[in-house]
Chain A
Amino acid sequence: MTEPRDTAVAPETPVPVVDDNGHLIVNIGPSHPSTHGVCRVLVELDGEIVVKAEPIIGHLHRGIEKMAENRTYLQVVPLTDRLDYVGSMYANWAYCRAVERLAGIRVPERAEYIRVIVCELQRIASHMMAIGPAGADTGATSAFMYTFWQREMVVDLFEALCGARLTYNYVRPGGVASDLPDGWIERCRAFIAQHPAAMLEIDRFLFGNVIFRARTKGIGVLDAADAVAWGATGPVARGSGMSWDLRRDDPYSVYPRFDFDVPVGSRGDAYDRARVRVYEAVESCRIIGQALDGLAEFKPGDIMAEAMPRLLAPPPGDAYDHIESARGSLGVYLVSDGSVRPYRMKVRSPAFCNLALLPLLAEGHTLSDLVVILGSLDPVFGEVDR
């Protein structure tokens, strides 16, 4: 005879929640493929139309800012890898720039060139992770395979460079962890030689696809004034025609030496936000090519600042520095009390600011468009929740 089933653990039949206006309340996520991570979106639906969409975040909150207060400056670098795990190099670099500013460290030029190269490669890898799923959100799964093939090549380059495929821990305070291995420059040149053609192909078969256009054009329109007021940065702001790129408008590192364009959209819809990323990836190839040419001028092995102490203890004070990551302005604010640990670290995460736009953009669209809009903001929840 079988035991009677314990009703306390039996799965309950979900009861639809309907509010006073007759609107259906739906929870999407936190573990749902269309949320691109662990985001819960509390949606109020009138039929199929979104009346209100509220992102509920924090499911991936690990307290990295608090953990940093209990680690030395060098030990924080691996923590920054775990912020934006699709673009770890950026968080490494932004953090290292803040530390260097705080401690007054001068980075050798060869290391700056290598940083630019790896971060532009990272931008390509990260944008592939945005464009492919943008297609997948609308049912065009083949684009995913093509962009991931490109991303795979970048990740292979990173693996050859530092042994890791996702969390690199490569950019360190004072320079980078290691010089480029033998044959890496040639492999990198081979990658950037074929990448623009691959992007052109994506542009034709995904952005020219009639279904993709119908699903993304005019969806989630963000006008430039709202982009400014809500602090949107990166491709989300540039898709709305706000021409703002820290590499050009607040130049850092060796970017002023390179010739590149900042692509902007005009309509501010999901289509423009995704397409801006395609052209940014092509511009990144231009920057990488120029940086690889410039690298020859510097002595190999000169990749770390001189007289770097083993235990960094910057003088008391604070520093803020920011870079243009694949998602926008990524800033790190550090406060030192003179000890070997940061007194306070704050990460100004672009994905966090961009995600705040979701309620504004999703209102009035259908539930299936909500998925497209969320994907077009390209949030990475490691960085949103920190």
Chain B
Amino acid sequence: MNLNELREHLCATYPDLCPLFSVEFGDGVMQVASSGLHSAAADMKALGFDMLGMVTAVDFGEDFELIYRLRSREMRVGMIVRTRVPRGNPSVASVTDLWPAANWHEREVYDLFGITFEGHPDLRRILLPDDWVGHPLRKDYEDPGVIRRPDYL
């Protein structure tokens, strides 16, 4: 199955998702609602995306975007699944039951962004000390030690 066949398959399975499916930098990209993330991820796994490369997030102010990069060894394609969670209630279902690899990645996102993953077996800080206050990769994180460099540099 190549990316075009995958696209047709996804259009048949999720008619409402098809306008949001695109191909960027060689990977398929699909945008799902945060409530449907786990079922979409389970479908992807059933389609043959056996490796979870990374889970990360970007702070876009009002909400956070979560990025899951999957990879199929058989089809030799990558797939990026994006979802958005509101800043007021940053929470999404964990995918550790599908890919154990998500364990540390989700802990890292929790640590640095403060996004909680429901169903994660061991959601603790991973890079920062347990008593750290705040989530540094949020754009509103204030650290007096950081001096904003002027724009001309």
Residues of A in contact with B (beta carbons under 8 Å apart) = 57-58, 61, 63, 65-66, 70-72, 75, 101, 228-231, 244, 249-250, 318-322, 329, 331, 333, 335, 340, 343-344, 346, 348, 352-353, 356, 385-386
Task: List the 7 closest A-B pairs by CB distance, nearest first.
Answer: A231-B101, A58-B127, A348-B54, A346-B56, A61-B127, A356-B104, A344-B58
Which residue among A66, A230, A231, A321 has the maximum number of chain B CB atoms within 10 Å of its CB?
A: A231
Interchain CB contact under 8 A, B51 and A231: yes
The distance in angstroms between the C-alpha atoms of A351 and B51, with both chains bound, is 16
State which of A320, A343, A385 has its C-beta within 8 Å of the C-beta of B80.
Answer: A320
Interface digits, B135-148 against A, CB 8 Å rule (1 contact, 0 not)?
01100000000101
Cross-chain contact B73 with A249 (CB below 8 angstroms) = yes
Which residue of B54, B99, B100, B148 is within 8 Å of A331 (Cβ)?
Answer: B54
Please state if A229 and B58 are interface contacts (CB–CB under 8 Å). no
- A228–B54 CB distance below 8 A: no
Interface size class of B (residues with CB under 8 A): 35 or more
Q: Smallest distance from the beta carbon of B126 to chain A beta carbons, Å?
A: 6
The reply to whether A331 and B58 form a contact with Cβ atoms under 8 Å apart is: no
Interface of A is mostly: mixed
Is the C-beta of B129 less than 8 angstroms from some C-beta in chain A?
yes
Of the residues A75, A321, A329, contact of B25 by C-beta under 8 Å: A321
Tell me the minimal C-beta distance from A174 to chain B in angstroms.
Answer: 18
Complex formed: what's the CA distance from A72 to B15 in Å?
42
CB pair A348 B58 closer than 8 Å:
no
Contact, CB under 8 Å: B52 / A231: yes
Q: In whole Å, how far is B145's beta carbon from the nearest beta carbon of chain A?
A: 10
Instruction: Tell me, in angstroms, the Cα distance from A231 to B95 when the chains sit together.
Output: 13
Q: Is B128 an interface residue (CB 8 A)?
A: yes
A333 to chain B: closest residue by CB: B56
Contacting pair A320 B25 (CB below 8 A): yes
Q: Which of A63, A75, A320 contacts B136 (CB 8 A)?
A: A63
Chain B residues positioned under 8 Å from A249 (CB to CB): 73, 76
Interface residues as binary, B117-136 with A (CB distance below 8 Å gives 1, 0 otherwise): 00000000111110000001
Question: Who on chain A is nearest to B128 by CB?
Answer: A58
Query: Inside 8 A of A229's CB, which chain B residues have their CB?
Result: 50, 99-101
